[in-house]
């Protein structure tokens, strides 16, 4: 009877866990919209309402898919879909931000501060610059 109980208990524990319970899943995984950009060096860039449709999708295998929206002749238009890689080492993320004004320096390393359904990315080389994303 004890063996049956132990077997039943073990099966119950194993089946109760799901992939969502994995503590190793990085909170950056998912689709994030760019909602705020502050202090890009040597640029007067500011997000328009159209730009806030721009997003990055972070995948668990370390890849991203991004689309940047911009206004062309009065129409909010999606740019081409771009793929890149992201990584995290010792709390420092490296991401490629799809903002044309950052090119060719749009692959940046920095810290991410998570707050509910947003995160703020601060590049290590530009501490006055912040890019805020909202979970989509």
What is the distance between the alpha carbons of residues 40 and 80, in angstroms, rounded to a whole number? Answer: 22
* pLDDT at residue 106, as a whole number: 85
* pLDDT at residue 126, as a whole number: 86
Residue with tokens 């890019």: 131
Domain that holds residue 87: 26-135
Contact 64, 56 (CB under 8 A): yes
pLDDT digit string (tens) for the chain, length 136 residues: 444 333 333 333 333 443 334 446 899 999 999 999 998 888 888 899 999 999 999 999 999 999 999 999 999 999 999 999 999 999 999 999 988 877 777 899 999 999 999 999 999 988 899 999 999 9
Is residue 62 in some structural domain? yes
Q: What would the DSSP string read from start to end of 33-54?
A: EEEEEE--TT------TGGGG-
Indicate which CATH number applies to the domain containing 127: 2.40.128.270
Domain count for the chain, please give it. Answer: 1
Is residue 13 in some structural domain? no
Is residue 38 in some structural domain? yes
Is residue 20 in some structural domain? no
Is residue 84 in some structural domain? yes
Strand, coil or helix: 113: strand
What is the distance between the alpha carbons of residues 114 and 124, in angstroms, rounded to a whole number? Answer: 16
| pTM, 2 dp | 0.79
Is residue 3 in some structural domain? no
Is residue 6 in some structural domain? no
């Amino acid at each position: 009877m004890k063996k049956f109980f132990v077997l039943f208990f073990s099966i119950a524990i194993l089946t109760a866990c799901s992939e969502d319970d994995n503590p190793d899943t990085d909170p950056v995984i998912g689709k994030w919209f760019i909602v705020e950009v502050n202090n890009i060096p040597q640029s007067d860039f500011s997000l328009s309402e159209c730009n806030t449709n721009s997003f990055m999708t972070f995948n668990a295998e370390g890849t991203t898919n991004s689309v940047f929206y911009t206004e062309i002749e009065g129409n909010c238009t999606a740019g081409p879909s771009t793929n890149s890689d992201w990584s995290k080492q010792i709390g420092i993320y490296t991401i490629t931000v799809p903002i044309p004004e950052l090119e060719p320096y749009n692959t940046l390393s920095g810290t991410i501060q998570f707050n509910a359904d947003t995160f703020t990315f601060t590049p290590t080389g530009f501490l006055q610059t912040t890019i805020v994303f909202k979970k989509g």
